[in-house]
Amino acid sequence: MNFLLAAAATNPPAAAGFQFTPALGMFLSFVLVTLGITYWSARKSTGASNYFAAGRGITAWQNGLAVAGDYMSAASFLGIAGMIAFKGYDGFMYSVGWLVAYLTVLLVVAEPLRNAGKYTMADVLAYRLSPRPVRAMASLSTLTVSTFYMIAQMVGAGALVKLLLPGVGYEAAVAGVGVLMIVYVVFGGMLATTWVQIIKAILLMSGSLFLSVLVLKHFDYSFAKFFEAVGKVPVAGPDGTIVHKDFLKPGLIFGLEVTKGWGPIDLISLGLALVFGTAGLPHVLVRFYTVPDAKTARLSVVWAMAIIGAFYIMTTFLGFGAATILTPANISVENMSAPLLAKALGGEIFFAFISAVAFATILAVVAGLTISASTSFAHDFYTNVLHHGRERGPGEEVRVARIAAFVVGAVAIFLAIKLQTINVAFLVGLAFAVAASANLPVIVLSLFWKRFNTSGACWGLGIGLLGSIALIVLSPSVMDPSGKGLINAVPWFPLKNPGIVSIPLGFLAAWLGTILSTDTTSQLKYDELTVRANTGLGAEKATAH
């Protein structure tokens, strides 16, 4: 990190236009370091378990950092800081759910998944269910979740880079991010992706910590003074005069009055999607295949929780710091709150550093999404569905995954450029809703319900996926009478977050599909799956290096 600062310090700040600014210098330093890592990884990433799972040799703390780096997107770093800066307390409510969700990962899925699976979430499902239909559905759901999430990240990246690096256009920014993520994944595989995520997590944590300390220093390291200022943030009143608002008071986003009564239910619905969806996000789940055994997987979740929790507590200082020190009136764009706060407190170089952190954040997340999508396509769909689990030649699966990563990346670049002007924030919510309503119910039921069968899994995945998409399309995120959404009409469904309806729907479909089918073959291997999941007998080993 120090060398990044040093590298940028030697570059004189430029005045205007497309010149060599400190921010650009730091962007380039990050790119160079990560490309170096990719080169190093490429030589080690031979063979499927090296390419898809980093040889299962990642340690607990490394994987903890990588999970954090995989998970904390620009939406959480810039989005939540901005939301707290503009809406106060309710923005912080977002922060809470992102951490608590990891308890589901820790208590329910991480260890059984590591013990019984190989590269993808579908491996666990395919154990005792009919592999081809289940893998086809699981792969569809994985690709859907990853693509939606990726487009949201890339559109955000384009908008962000345009703000942080004046002179670089939206298309160039999106293409740059896309090409880099393709390079990491195609050449460096899971090993390069992991290290990009680890570096990003370290950069993000140090940047946020330093910014938080600067905020506290501004208030003479006194929490009392800090919260006193939060109690009276100057905002523009209805008639243009400045009024002072208590930003610790809940209700500016989800309050009953602001949302015509639906706010608290929407918040609960969001919470459900987070708490049940995180444990069904393919790009988070694949991370547990990179460690040697279930115990390391467990420890790595705890590492991740320590890092993610510390970060989300710091969003209080970033967000409230921007609200009190800058005040909302002086922040041009909500998402720019944290970088602008860094500029005000730490000068041009620190602004450049925080901007580079934001850039690294996006890259690490999209790289994780790309590798999980391409792994699922190659392993689940190509090898196991199309070719009945047999490779036709050495290394075919990895080759297909590399091609898939390239295609997924290219499609994401194309869509992100096409969707430039559309508000795609709802796509992140949609990804979580699908993960919670389609993936999690079938993972849990296949691990813990003996009677569960193939028909139940297909129904659960299908209805969970379609239900979430349908409810989002009918929600205020897409249907907006004021013309801001994709469809210019009054929404049919009142909630922005479909979880409260779609998650029970997913479970119900999985249950109905099961009991309406007389298929009992899935029960034959239930003992085996239980023993594997609980003892780690026969689990995939780390490759010896």
Tokens of residue 508, six digits: 């119900």
Distance CA 43, CA 63 (A): 21
Dihedral class, residue 453 (left if φ above 0, else alpha if ψ from -120 to 50, else beta): beta
Smallest separation, CB 418 to other proteins (Å): 36
Distance CA 4, CA 29 (A): 6
Contact range with other proteins by CB under 8 A, out of 16-24, 206-214, 323-331, 524-532 = 524-532
Is 496 within 8 Å of 480 (Cβ atoms)? no
Q: Does 313 bind other proteins (CB under 8 A)?
A: yes
- The binder of other proteins chosen from 118, 135, 200, 283 (CB under 8 A): 118
End-to-end CA distance of the chain: 29
Closest to other proteins by CB, 161 vs 380, is 380
Q: Does 133 bind other proteins (CB under 8 A)?
A: no
Closest to other proteins by CB, 301 vs 364, is 301
Q: Does 520 bind other proteins (CB under 8 A)?
A: no
Q: Does 469 bind other proteins (CB under 8 A)?
A: no
At position 336, the amino acid (one-letter code) is M
Smallest separation, CB 300 to other proteins (Å): 12
- Residues numbered 257-286 forming contacts with other proteins, rule: CB under 8 A: 263-265, 267-268, 271, 275
Tokens of residue 525, six digits: 């291997």
Smallest separation, CB 80 to other proteins (Å): 13
Contact range with other proteins by CB under 8 A, out of 67-75, 142-150, 224-232, 332-340 = 224-232
Q: Does 382 bind other proteins (CB under 8 A)?
A: no
Smallest separation, CB 162 to other proteins (Å): 33
- The binder of other proteins chosen from 213, 302, 422, 466 (CB under 8 A): 302
Q: Does 72 bind other proteins (CB under 8 A)?
A: no
Compute how many residues bind other proteins; rule: CB under 8 A.
76
Closest to other proteins by CB, 13 vs 264, is 264
Closest to other proteins by CB, 166 vs 255, is 255
Closest to other proteins by CB, 22 vs 271, is 271
Smallest separation, CB 26 to other proteins (Å): 30
Number of other CB atoms surrounding residue 438 within 10 Å: 35
- The binder of other proteins chosen from 25, 97, 176, 368 (CB under 8 A): 97
Is 163 within 8 Å of 333 (Cβ atoms)? yes
Closest to other proteins by CB, 299 vs 403, is 299
Closest to other proteins by CB, 171 vs 396, is 396
- The binder of other proteins chosen from 393, 421, 483, 490 (CB under 8 A): 393
- The binder of other proteins chosen from 398, 430, 435, 473 (CB under 8 A): 398
- Residues numbered 19-58 forming contacts with other proteins, rule: CB under 8 A: 46-49
Q: Does 496 bind other proteins (CB under 8 A)?
A: no
Distance CA 128, CA 456 (A): 12
Is 29 within 8 Å of 353 (Cβ atoms)? no
Distance CA 139, CA 121 (A): 9
Going from the C-alpha of 545 to that of each of 56, 193, 200, the distances in angstroms are: 11, 19, 26
Encode burial over 91-127: b for 16+ CB neighbours within 10 A, e otherwise.
bbbbbebbbbbbebbbebbbbbbbbbbbbbbbbbbbb
At position 362, the amino acid (one-letter code) is I
- The binder of other proteins chosen from 107, 179, 236, 516 (CB under 8 A): 107
Q: Of 485, 308, 271, 461, whose CA–CA distance to 380 is shortest? A: 461
How far does Cα 32 stand from its chain's mean position? 24
Residue 480: phi and psi, rounded to 5, are -135, 120
Smallest separation, CB 174 to other proteins (Å): 33
Is 186 within 8 Å of 287 (Cβ atoms)? no
Closest to other proteins by CB, 137 vs 400, is 400
Q: Which residue has the tokens 């890339």?
A: 154
- Residues numbered 402-461 forming contacts with other proteins, rule: CB under 8 A: none
- Residues numbered 136-175 forming contacts with other proteins, rule: CB under 8 A: none
